[in-house]
Amino acid sequence: MIDDLRGTVVFITGAAGGIGLGMARAFAEAGAKIAVADIDMETLGQAAAELEDAGATVLPVRLDVTDRPAWTAAAEKVAATLGPVRVLCNNAGVSTLGLKFGEITPEFWDKVIDVNLNSVFNGVNCFLGPMRAAGGGHIVNTSSMGGLMGGVPTLTPYAATKFGIVGLSEGLRAELADDGIGVSVLCPGGVRSRLWRTSRRIRGVPDTEVAPSDMSGQSALPTGMDPYQVGLRVVDAVRKNELYVITHPEFRSAVVNRHEQLMAAFDRSEAANSESSRTPAEKTSP
């Protein structure tokens, strides 16, 4: 458990804006040294300058999270400049909100899997060895409330990846506990971010500075949570080694409803198994 983050090196993907930048602000306030990574170097440079102006030690790194050799190069650069990474935040992702399954081509599906799920593997695969060598650390994987409750129309590929991140995080936590490495999975609801805009590139839609009025522009709504508040929750979770990081308690009932359906299925299975174990005479007896 890393309860004192002063001087700790934190590596955050998808950090040019939104939740990634919110995490960077919160970790910087806690005294950590921050490596911010993103594929958009122009916007990332602006974010890094903002962090530096606030007094943070920060290193911007261009990274395509689907490019495994690029991960290796990024890790080497960070280690040489800031020191060994002790906290890894796999935060980069894209949304498919508003797209029905029939609109998802095999090529688009593969891209979503690569950016949202394979990138988490890439990050852990790259930093796990050095983290062990450094004596431990913490991994934060950004999932979504969509990774806990499912059943959201026009969000199927996204939800599939986010459910995968929850399962991956739970497995990693059990496996890495003896190495002194904690694992948290962040499951936020609506957060104000650039997700609507950064997701357009993978959809093959031209960039725009004006958020669309349809569902795909949801992350631009002013009613979304401030990403800095999400960052504060993540910092607290790292300090306390919490597995699940929930930021929107209003979704409790939806998650409970999903689990009640699962429990009902177990009840039906128990009843069916009990019935099948009865002998023919028992089944016909009054």
Report how far residue 235's alpha carbon sits from residue 178's, in angstroms, rounded to the nearest whole number.
22
Work out whether strand 57-62 and strand 33-38 pair parallel, antiparallel, or are unpaired: parallel
Contact 148, 258 (CB under 8 A): yes
H-state helical runs in the chain? 18-29, 41-53, 68-81, 106-113, 119-133, 156-176, 195-203, 227-240, 252-276, 280-284
Residue 209, phi then psi, degrees to nearest 5: -90, -5
Q: Both ends of the chain: CA-CA distance in Å?
A: 61
Determine whether 158 is an active site residue. Answer: yes
Among candidate residues 158, 163, 196, 251, the one labeled active-site is: 158
Q: Which residues are catalytic?
A: 158
